[in-house]
Amino acid sequence: MQACRTVVLVEDEQLQREATTALLVDDGCVVHPATSHDEAVEILGSNPYVTVVITDIALAGDRTGLDLADAVASQWPHVRIIILSGRVRPDPGILPGNALFCTKPCAPNALTTLVRQCADW
């Protein structure tokens, strides 16, 4: 039996969020979509089963996906983070130890493979 992967998906673009949610659900994940740093933190605080956070670097509001990655690393160190961006490639030295970077656009199978790897980490 496949282990349940519970994912918080943080994407402020609705169509991208909906398409990625559908992709992950089809791959067997439980997905909690969020549009902002604060919404993601709220979900993480109320759901102890989250195994992976996927976030875009650019988010609506004054906090970025990198800010979220830092918050996740300090408050939920067991949760793995996948950071996505099509515009910015962060220096690997600034990523928390439990974070991976993936360039957008990424192939659907590449994202689902990363989620599986992170959940099994």
Name the more confident of 101 and 93: 101
Q: What angle is formed at CA 102 by the lines to CA 12 and CA 19, rounded to 5 degrees? A: 40
pLDDT at 3 over 70: no
What confidence category does residue 2 fall into, taking pLDDT thresholds of 50, 70 and 90?
very low
Mean pLDDT of the chain: 90
HSE at residue 100, side-chain half, CA atoms within 13 A, is 19
Task: Find, among 107, 61, 115, 51, the residue nearest to 83 by Cα.
Answer: 115
What pLDDT score does 121 carry?
Answer: 67
pLDDT at 60 over 50: yes
Torsions phi, psi for 117 (to 5 deg)? -65, -45
User: What domains can you pick out in the chain, each with its CATH number?
Assistant: 5-120 (3.40.50.2300)
Q: What is the pTM of this model?
A: 0.92
